[in-house]
Amino acid sequence: MKNVTITVDEETLQWARMEAARRGTSVSRLIGEMLAEHRDKKSAYERAMERYFARGPFRSTGERKPYPTREEIYDREILRRY
């Protein structure tokens, strides 16, 4: 483990102390856990985004049909009336 010095305003420090006490841990450990949680969420989001974009322009209905074009989506009888 490495030590890091941070600067926070008094109100944030007071909140961190109370939150750490509520959780039964130290402020240092609380901040470390919060940073690790943020890192893991960001990593999970990036992995999900990569999976989404890797799947290609096809619907996931089992059929390998491409998504409809903009023109196909808006080519409806009701829209042509106005």
Question: Global pTM?
Answer: 0.56
Encode burial over 24-53: b for 16+ CB neighbours within 10 A, e otherwise.
eeebeebbeeeeeeeeeeeeeeeeeeeeee
pLDDT the model gives residue 36: 93
Bridge partners of residue 58, in order along the sequence: 66
Q: What is the number of residues in the chain?
A: 82
Q: How far apart are CA 4 and CA 17, in angstroms?
A: 17
pLDDT attached to residue 14? 97
Q: What is the pLDDT of residue 66?
A: 72
User: What is the mean pLDDT for each group of 10 consecutive residues in the chain (82 residues)?
Assistant: 91 97 96 93 88 72 71 72 60
Domain boundaries, the chain: 10-80
